[in-house]
A and B are shown apart, each in its own frame.
Chain A
Amino acid sequence: GAVVSQHPSWVICKSGTSVKIECRSLDFQATTMFWYRQFPKQSLMLMATSNEGSKATYEQGVEKDKFLINHASLTLSTLTVTSAHPEDSSFYICSARDGDRSPSYNEQFFGPGTRLTVL
């Protein structure tokens, strides 16, 4: 149980284009999903918290107009990187929390990540 998938697993795009990354919880409903980015040999940095049916909460320094997050259902959240630039190249990872899990320690289950390369 508690499987999270991401699509695509890797993407290469040209500078100025937009890229959408999907995050799905496969066997549970996730009222809350999180988006992280990770640079080589570094830890994860939280970008935003995505709540189903409401606006995402962005961390300080993360541009909400550049990183659009939509959490339209209890099993799907999307991150769209708009007008991508080479400095947006990174490993993007989502996680989801199973609100029905018992006992609940607010554990997050992570997707396999999406490697974005902007040329």
Chain B
Amino acid sequence: TQLLEQSPQFLSIQEGENLTVYCNSSSVFSSLQWYRQEPGEGPVLLVTVVTGGEVKKLKRLTFQFGDARKDSSLHITAAQPGDTGLYLCAGIMIKAAGNKLTFGGGTRVLVKP
């Protein structure tokens, strides 16, 4: 069982549609990050959320951190083919040794033109 469960694992949508990716855990996180990774490249940091209930917006992307800091969501409005990629949530659990990042399993998003 993964400490951070991401859902769905795969999402295929048409350009212009909206999508939401969820990241859930039974553990509390001091901070949580969202990354996007394209094939053959390393993950690129999109956002860090640290406060329960926090909402951050990055153009068409909206990130939310749950009140209890156990879950997070990423919402993309009017998706474009350039949004295609692997979306990863990762967090640092409270009292994590060495501040290690715990990764979710990833959500593969395909936006078709």
Bound Cα distance from A43 to B88, whole angstroms: 8
Number of A-B contacts (CB under 8 A): 59
B103 touches A43 (CB 8 A): yes
Tell me the chain B residues, 42-87 only, with Cβ under 8 Å from chain A. Answer: 42-45, 48, 50
Q: CB-CB contacts of A28-49 with B at 8 A, as 1s and 0s?
A: 0000101000000111111001
A107 touches B105 (CB 8 A): no
B43 touches A44 (CB 8 A): yes
Q: B42, B44, B99, B103: which contacts A106 (Cβ < 8 A)?
A: B99
**Interface residues in B, total, Cβ within 8 A:** 24
Bound Cα distance from A106 to B104, whole angstroms: 17
Bound Cα distance from A95 to B92, whole angstroms: 15
**Interface residues in A, total, Cβ within 8 A:** 26
Tell me the chain A residues, 65-119 only, with Cβ under 8 Å from chain B. Answer: 91, 93, 95, 97, 105-113, 115
Bound Cα distance from A41 to B39, whole angstroms: 9
Bound Cα distance from A91 to B103, whole angstroms: 16
A113 touches B50 (CB 8 A): no
A105 touches B50 (CB 8 A): yes
Residue B101 CB within 8 A of the other chain: yes
Bound Cα distance from A105 to B105, whole angstroms: 22
Bound Cα distance from A103 to B50, whole angstroms: 11
Q: Can you identify 19 A-B contacts, CB atoms within 8 angstroms?
A: A32-B99, A34-B100, A42-B105, A42-B106, A43-B103, A43-B104, A44-B88, A44-B103, A45-B103, A95-B42, A106-B30, A107-B33, A107-B45, A108-B90, A109-B45, A110-B42, A110-B43, A112-B41, A115-B40
Residues of B within 8 A of A (CB): 30-31, 33, 35, 40-45, 48, 50, 88, 90, 92, 98-101, 103-106, 108
